[in-house]
Structures are given as C-alpha cells and as structure tokens.
Amino acid sequence: MTRFALTVEYDGRPYMGWQRQAHGPSVQQHIEEALGRIVGEAPVIHCAGRTDAGVHALAMRAHVDLAKAISPFRLMEALNAHLRPEPIAIIGCEAVAEDWHARFSCRGRVYEYRILNRRAPLTFEQGLVWRVPQRLDADAMHEAAQYLIGKHDFTTFRSAQCQADSPLRTLDRLDVVRTGERIAIHAEARSFLHHQVRSMVGCLALVGTGTWAVAAMKAALDARNRTALGHNAPPDGLYFVRAIYPGE
C-alpha cells in the first residue's frame, strides 16, 4: 500500500464543492471515479480543506492510499487523462510517508479572494472574480482587516451550518492589496470556519464602499453574533491557494 499526495487545481464553477454531495457533482467524486478506473478499486481521497460550491483551488492538497504498484508520474498522467474534460487537473503527485495526512498534518491554509472593481460587466472572468461596481477604498479595507488578526471568537463570520466544535480561530494574515482595478485579499490561518473568509470579505467590501466605518469591523467581531454580519461575499472570487506542512 502506497500513500500518494496529490496537488489539485480546479475551477469550482461546475461543482457543489470539494466534498461528495447527494444533490450534485463534486471535485472529490470526479477524482475518486477516475482513480477507480485506473486501479480497479474504490479509493477514498482526503483533502486539506473542503471548499464550497463555486469556490476554486490553485493547489489543493489531498492524499489517497493505493495497493496498485504505480509511479507518481504515471498516476498523475493517468488521472489527468481520465479527468478530461472536467476543469480539474492534478498538477503534482508524490509518494509520502504513511503517517502523512492531507488534513491532519496541515499546519496552515492560505486563501485569496479576488475582486474586480469596475462598472463594466464581466466577460471572460464570469464566476472567477467578484465584480464590485462601486469604487472601493482598499486602504480602508486593509485597515479594518487588521482588527481581525489574532485569536478571536469568529461567531459573527461563521455560517449557521458550520460544524466546527468551537468558533475560536487564530487569523495569521488578512491583507488587502489593490493593483489597478483588481483587489486581492490574502487570508492565512491554521484553519477557517465555514464561510469565514467570504463573510470577512463581504464586510470588508462594506468598509470599502463607505457603508461601514473602519471601526465597524471590530464591532462586528466583538458582537460574536451572526446577525451582526453585514454581507457574505459570493463564492466566485475565492481561491484555495495552498496548504502548509511541516518542513515545507
């Protein structure tokens, strides 16, 4: 039995998210079905972080245990062949120690949220960015974001369906950077609550338009109540960028 670590890139638009769902297609389903056709069994893959419907990944990490003798390169090539034409690509594959776990060995997760701040409608990037037509003050957004850095009760920014045992999380980074019409929001933590990044971004956008004062972000955090949430950003602009492991 060999444990393989996979690095997966995908466009989340056609899927109900990473995890298998009874009511629609998922990234996990397509990769497991491709694996089944390659090895003649029904393996289960485990990922570093589940993504919601419409959310994308640049380098999701996952692992699978296979009894079949196959090299990492041949497995990657076979998977990519069987995944076509789905917008899912295996961009890395390696054999790892049997105690390496995509989820439990992970020490950090990095997301990026992409906003296109323009009045014109989207053409090529429909579903890949969040278009905000009102002018956003990225400096004010970044200032407000710093209230969320550190260990806090993030109940306000947590989905009502979140299954985490505790709302406490430690946010290591939340930066807002503008480049022309594009605004990128970089978030890093050991783990995130369900909808946490989208909820934080939605409220930062309210600061950017002037609907909220900068200090309103701290008030929302301190409320520790979902009713204090101003806005939940759409999934379109959210990307899982990378997972961080010891020694990497």
Q: Which residues are catalytic?
A: 52
Residue among 230, 221, 225 at smallest CA distance from 152? 221
Contact 243/96 with Cβ under 8 angstroms? no
Contact 91/72 with Cβ under 8 angstroms? no
Q: Distance (Å, rounded) from C-alpha 209 to C-alpha 211? A: 6
Q: Distance (Å, rounded) from C-alpha 137 to C-alpha 62? A: 37
Q: Distance (Å, rounded) from C-alpha 154 to C-alpha 156? A: 5
Which segments of the chain does DSSP mark as H helices, in order?
A: 27-39, 72-83, 138-145, 196-209, 216-223
Amino acid (one-letter) located at 220 = A
Phi, psi of 60 (to 5 degrees): -70, 140
Amino acid (one-letter) located at 206 = L
Contact 48/63 with Cβ under 8 angstroms? no
